[in-house]
Amino acid sequence: MSTLAVTAGVRFALLLGIGLAIGFALERFGFGFAGPWRRLILQRNGQGVMAQLVAIGLTAIAIQPLIAFAPGQMLGAIAPISLTMVLSAFVFGFAMQLIIGCGSGTLVNAGSGNLLAIVALPLFCIGSFLGTLLVPAAVAFTPHPVVSLPQTFGVWGSVGVTLAGLAVVGFIVARYTTEPLWNRKLMIAAIILAALAIVHVLVAGQPWGVVYGLGLWVAKGAVALGWDPSQAAFWTHPINAGALSASILTDTASLTSMGLIGGAALAAWHGAKDTPLWPTLKPWIFIVVALAGLMLGMSSRLAFGCNVGALFSGIASGSGHGWAWMLAGFLGSVAGVRGREWLWARASGEGA
């Protein structure tokens, strides 16, 4: 990190450090997004989802005023809602349940040496890049209205609406769940995650995200192989063109994503010694996992974020697209959980 501070800048070293801390916390505390949704759907266990809601709520209380009172310095994860955005969130929810790896989860799982995530991650990156090529067409051909709660209700009204929305979701989860609602370890993880997400906004000036960096890595590789980005509307926008021409060691999402992998590796290293690399599954499951990774990448780009950029940071920023993502992603997860059960039963030889 000190090397990065000298060669690139202190801000970038801090972002790598934040990523490391997030990855370590997610892996060590077992905090995630896809897994808790699966446990809620299959086991009526809402502990993980309640922890997610607490983390998002705490983050929202801090970052919405920060962003509102520092215009020009701070940027919220505000994105439009559209038909393609909602459908893509559904597809993401489906695919993340197939491999039980969302945006952050795939990085953390890969960092902990999970072979399925290691196979999915490169395709996730490629999918994210392919999604950038489709975003301009999606924006041009379907209405993409932006619903910004801070603009609609003012900052404190937006915080109130966000917390009320989270409380409603929490109430529904509480009514549905048959297990104890609160888990001490997950709540500690939620508080840590919220604190790190707030620090991320203070340092980067924008909320935590994952997918942008993954697509950027492939875009840079494509340029090196002769691809002309001037033909792609997404990459000719000054912000994206700037990111494409700059080092990935100065890209916010890239640094936190690399940190996530590193932090998860640190947390998992000791236990990884006794865990076999190869899963006891039929080889064709790797093709399914690769396709799921591709779906995750493309859908998250078209949905303007994954579970981190859209669900976590979107809702915490007061973006309507975060709420639309939550609903569509959960419905996709309901289908994905069934798909996972069916596929894994055959891949393990139980349902063949």
Partner 1 sequence: MSRRTGIVIVFICIFAVVSAEWLGGNPPDPYSAPDPMAFGSTSGASGAICSFAPGASQ
Site for partner 1 in 307-326 (CB under 8 A): 308-310, 313-314, 317, 319, 321
Q: Which stretch binds partner 1 (CB under 8 A): 46-54, 183-191, 236-244, 288-296?
A: 236-244
- 14 vs 40 by CB, closer to partner 1: 14
Residues 264-303 as x/- pattern, contact with partner 1 by CB under 8 A: -x--xx--xxxxxxx---------------------x---
Residue 319 has φ and ψ, to the nearest 5°, of: -95, 130
CA atoms of 40 and 326, how far apart (whole Å): 14
Q: Which stretch binds partner 1 (CB under 8 A): 1-9, 23-31, 155-163, 340-348?
A: 1-9
Least distance to partner 1 from the beta carbon of 57, Å? 19
Going by C-alpha positions, the residue among 104, 131, 182 that lies closest to residue 300 is 131
Q: Which stretch binds partner 1 (CB under 8 A): 154-162, 166-174, 203-211, 332-340?
A: 203-211
Interface with partner 1, residue 224, by CB under 8 A? yes
Least distance to partner 1 from the beta carbon of 234, Å? 6
Question: Which 151-190 positions form the footprint of partner 1 (CB under 8 A)?
Answer: none
Q: Which stretch binds partner 1 (CB under 8 A): 52-60, 180-188, 197-205, 281-289?
A: 197-205
Residues 46-85 as x/- pattern, contact with partner 1 by CB under 8 A: --------------------x---x-xxxxxxxxx-----
Going by C-alpha positions, the residue among 294, 326, 343 that lies closest to residue 53 is 326
Contacting residue, 202, 291, 327, 335, with partner 1 by CB under 8 A = 202
- 72 vs 180 by CB, closer to partner 1: 72
Least distance to partner 1 from the beta carbon of 161, Å? 18
**Cβ proximity of 98 and 336 under 8 Å:** yes
Least distance to partner 1 from the beta carbon of 44, Å? 31
- 122 vs 339 by CB, closer to partner 1: 122
Residues 99-128 as x/- pattern, contact with partner 1 by CB under 8 A: -----------xxxxxx--x--x-------
Tell me the two tokens of residue 159: 């915080």
CA atoms of 247 and 258, how far apart (whole Å): 14
Least distance to partner 1 from the beta carbon of 17, Å? 12
Looking at the chain, how many residues does it have?
352
Going by C-alpha positions, the residue among 196, 189, 256 that lies closest to residue 53 is 189
Least distance to partner 1 from the beta carbon of 169, Å? 20
- 272 vs 331 by CB, closer to partner 1: 272
Q: Which residues contact 222 (CB under 8 A, 6 or more apart)?
A: 129, 229
CA atoms of 260 and 106, how far apart (whole Å): 10
Least distance to partner 1 from the beta carbon of 46, Å? 26
Least distance to partner 1 from the beta carbon of 209, Å? 4
- 70 vs 172 by CB, closer to partner 1: 70
Say whether 183 sits in a helix, a strand or coil: coil
CA atoms of 193 and 256, how far apart (whole Å): 13
Query: In Å, how far from its chain's centre is CA 273?
Result: 28
CA atoms of 240 and 245, how far apart (whole Å): 9
Contacting residue, 83, 174, 246, 345, with partner 1 by CB under 8 A = 246
CA atoms of 213 and 215, how far apart (whole Å): 5
Going by C-alpha positions, the residue among 304, 253, 205 that lies closest to residue 107 is 253
Considering Cα of 343, then 347, then 348, then 349, what sign does the dihedral take?
positive
Neighbours of 335 (CB within 10 A): 15
CA atoms of 352 and 347, how far apart (whole Å): 8
Residues 3-22 as x/- pattern, contact with partner 1 by CB under 8 A: ---xxxxxxx-x--------
